[in-house]
């Protein structure tokens, strides 16, 4: 199984200044080109690679898109006054998990 965390943290693979690298995994803009187009860094492998690559990738991508779009359509997400923004360093488990944080979720009218 491909260790995605090791792959992203390896300085020999990750070249932050290059468009073909993953760079800092906390920087979402790494998926955008200078002109605003979509970029997929060559080392971005959340579904693994090679003969054991995830067979559910297409389904997972559709589900994630619909799930996220529906949440954003129906709710407004915002920072809670007086509470800090989420710590983006993450906690390493089977996957990199966020530390607990507060967020305000209000149904859209
Ligand atoms: C966000 C969702 C998902 C992620 C991040 C994910 C990620 C992965 C990864 C990293 C592997 C291992 C690849 C390797 O061994 O190198 C894998 C394997 C696999 N995934 Fe997923 N997966 C997701 C969703 C799904 C879904 C929805 C299905 C089925 C409907 C699925 C079915 C499988 C199967 C059957 C394998 C084993 C493939 C094999 O060993 O030949 N996955 N997945």
**Where in the chain are the domains?**
1-54
The set of protein residues with a Cβ atom below 6 angstroms from ligand 1 is 1-2, 46-48, 52-56, 59-60
Q: What is the pLDDT of residue 33?
A: 82
Protein residue with its CA nearest to atom 25 in ligand 1: 56
Residue 29 is predicted with a pLDDT of 77
The answer to whether the complex's ipTM is over 0.95 is yes
User: Could you tell me which of 37, 33, 8, 34 has the C-alpha nearest to residue 21?
Assistant: 8
**Which residues make Cβ contacts (< 8 Å) with residue 103, sequence separation at least 6?**
77, 78, 79, 80
Element (H, E) at 88: none
Mean per-residue pLDDT, 17-29: 60
Calculate how far, in angstroms, residue 90's C-alpha sits from the geometric centre of ligand 1: 22
Q: Whose CA is nearest to atom 35 of ligand 1?
A: 55
Q: How far is CA 39 from the centre of its chain?
A: 13
Radius of gyration in angstroms for the set of CA atoms belonging to the chain, rounded to a whole number: 17
Residue 20: what pLDDT? Answer: 46
pLDDT at residue 75 in the model: 98
What does the block give as tokens for 65?
A: 């898109």
pLDDT for residue 34 is more than 50: yes
pLDDT in tens, 38-94: 887 777 788 888 899 999 999 999 999 999 999 999 999 999 999 998 887 778 777
CA of 107 to the centre of ligand 1 (A): 33
How many angstroms from the chain centroid is the CA of residue 6?
16
CB 66 within 8 Å of CB 99 = no
């Amino acid at each position: 199984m491909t260790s995605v965390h090791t792959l992203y943290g390896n300085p020999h693979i990750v070249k932050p200044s290059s468009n073909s690298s993953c760079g800092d995994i906390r920087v979402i803009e790494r998926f955008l080109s200078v002109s605003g187009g979509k970029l997929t860094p060559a080392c971005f492998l959340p579904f693994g690679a090679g003969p054991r690559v995830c067979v559910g990738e297409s389904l997972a991508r559709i589900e994630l898109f619909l799930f996220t779009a529906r949440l954003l359509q129906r709710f407004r997400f915002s920072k809670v006054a007086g509470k800090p923004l989420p710590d983006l360093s993450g906690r390493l488990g089977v996957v990199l998990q966020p530390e607990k944080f507060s967020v305000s979720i209000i149904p859209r009218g």
